[in-house]
Amino acid sequence: MTKYIGEENYKCPLTAGVIVGCPYDMYKVIEHLDSQRFSFSRFYDIAILNFLKNAFRDNKDQILKLPVDMDVKKITSSSGIMEFTEEMTRKAFGYNSAKELLDYSSCKNYMDDIKIPTLFLNSLDDPICIKSLIPFEKIFNNPNLVLALTENGGHIGYMGGTWPTSWVEHPVTEFFASMLKHHSSKSQRGKSG
């Protein structure tokens, strides 16, 4: 969503945006996940890798029809997301390397171009989108961006109160309601002026 809003720039048809648990730099996020051997992040790495391998197996016949050289054994025996991305995903989409694909896909490159109010909601205990990867300077230098940083929330879970109730919809709804109200009153002023 962030990449889309930035790419659209002034032409973005949205009034506002909300991004929860944003992986700003996909290469560094995957590098982080793949490097974790004894932490909660490793569970995400394994789950995502297994999802990718299963998706490959389920669609192998179609994928192998692509005019690129793929090594099925290397793909199915990948030990991390980066290795899988290097062996399959980047080849399927015509990139020279996993890094090139992931850098192109990362929203950090488009944040300066966001021209609508956009709320980023990140949690300090997110095992995927860790604090050191949040581009604070980019967010603070663009007046259209707001960062809400919470102590707890994990990766988009934001559980609280009576578990398994999530509270993330409250700030998201309030932000959108405020932006729509502001946009509506701005539109009304424009019509009467």
Q: What is the pLDDT of residues 87-130, one digit of tens each?
A: 999 999 999 999 999 999 999 999 999 999 999 999 888 888 88
Tokens of 140: 């603070």
Q: How far apart are CA 148 and CA 7, in angstroms?
A: 23
Residue 46: per-residue pLDDT? 87
Could you read off the pLDDT of 20-49 as tens digits, one per residue?
989 999 999 999 888 877 666 778 888 899
Half-sphere exposure at residue 123, Cβ-oriented, CA atoms within 13 angstroms: 17
pLDDT band at 193 (very low <50, low <70, confident <90, very high): low
**Cross-sheet strand order for the sheet of 145-150:** 17-20, 118-123, 145-150
CB 5 within 8 A of CB 17: yes
- The CA-CA-CA angle for residues 9, 180, 174, to 5°, reads 110
Whether the model pTM is above 0.95: no
Per-chain mean pLDDT for the chain: 88
